[in-house]
Amino acid sequence: MTSTLTISHLTKSYDGVQVLTDVTLDVAAGQRVALLGHNGAGKSTLMKIILGLIPASGGTVTVCGGRPGSAQARAQVAYLPENAAFHPALTGQEQLAYYLRLRGRPATEALPLLSRVGLADAAQRRISTYSKGMRQRVGLAQALIGHPRLLVLDEPTSGLDPVSRRDFYDLLDGLAAEGAAILLSSHALTEVEARTDRLLILSGGKLVAQGALADLRREAALPVALHVTPHNGYVSDIIAALPGAIRVGEALHLTCTQDEKLAVLSRIAALQGKVADLDVTPPSLEDIYSHYSRRDGQ
């Protein structure tokens, strides 16, 4: 598969402060990639470099076969900024018509695009009357103009209600299926988990992890939590059988590594009759995320 976005050994510093250090990644056509990181981890800076808004200090970036910000790249890249803002004096339709004309497309496509993001009814109203979620959807509509090959979306679902979020990811799935590469940043880990192909974790300007969630989970080797509820009177029997178990009220807590998991489960299964219930909790995306972003001394 050809890469739509290729970044190798990218560095960026502002006034001697290193913001991005040796970042290497690529996004292929049809891939949905999530960029995770704390505030100030360098996500927005990375996106602005990809878009050609600010120059890199070192390394190479290739966007759709061209230099970031070149006419060739800009013709094929769409951007949704964090907290998308528009001129308050224009209506949604007028604002979108302007963006369409900048991309050399007829202004008549504005209404269908607004309908696609559920704003057809508000199209004739000035953007100053829009809610944050509606402005975000105008931002999304402009990012859909003319089948972009790469979409760079900075916190695209912030301000959207749960239903709009699902619609948004459905839209992304459609775009990816048509071959668009998608790079999006988000703080909403659970939705990213379900709706993207690959995760990139930035921490302190370094790319500390990248891969599919299952790979990251395996690599992190975080403990699995088990929650055992004994039948009345069997608590001490179970503590004896499961060294390391901690009593919390009437229940028992236990953690083990991924590799030990099956062995521990079979030991619990052997206590049949004494155990009323068992819950197994794998490490959450939050745990995995904290694991990687903390590794570099954060």
Partner 1 sequence: MNARILATAASEFRISRRNRWVAIAVALMVVFSLVLAAAGSAPTGALGADRLSVTVASLTSLSVYLVPLVALLMSFDAIAGEIERGTLPLVLTYPAARWEILAGKLVAHLGVLILALVAGYGAAALMAFATDPDAASGLPALWRLTWSSALLGATFLGIGYAVSALARRPSGAAGLAVAVWLGLVVLYDLGLLAAVVADDGGSFTTDIFPVALLVNPADAFRLFNLSAAEATAAAAGIGGAAGAIPVWQSLLSVVLWPLLALALASLAFRRVEP
Contact residues for partner 1, defined by CB under 8 A: 48, 51-54, 71, 74-75, 77-79, 81, 83-90, 94, 98-99, 101-104, 139, 142
Shortest CB 99 distance to partner 1, Å: 7
Among residues 44 and 293, whose Cβ is nearest to partner 1?
Answer: 44
Contacts of 59 (CB under 8 A, 6+ apart): 7, 8, 9, 10, 11, 22, 23, 24
Shortest CB 228 distance to partner 1, Å: 52
How many Å apart are CA 35 and CA 221, to the nearest integer? 21
Which residue is it, tokens 């219930």? 277
How many Å apart are CA 238 and CA 221, to the nearest integer? 26
Among residues 95 and 164, whose Cβ is nearest to partner 1?
Answer: 95
Instruction: From 109, 119, 193, 170, select the one nearest 145 (Cα to Cα).
Output: 109
Among residues 104 and 162, whose Cβ is nearest to partner 1?
Answer: 104
- DSSP run (H or E) holding 206: strand 206-211
DSSP β-bridge partners for residue 27: 5
Among residues 142 and 164, whose Cβ is nearest to partner 1?
Answer: 142
Among residues 13 and 229, whose Cβ is nearest to partner 1?
Answer: 13
Shortest CB 188 distance to partner 1, Å: 21
Shortest CB 146 distance to partner 1, Å: 10
For residue 208, give the amino acid letter: V
Largest CA distance in the chain: 76
Shortest CB 75 distance to partner 1, Å: 5
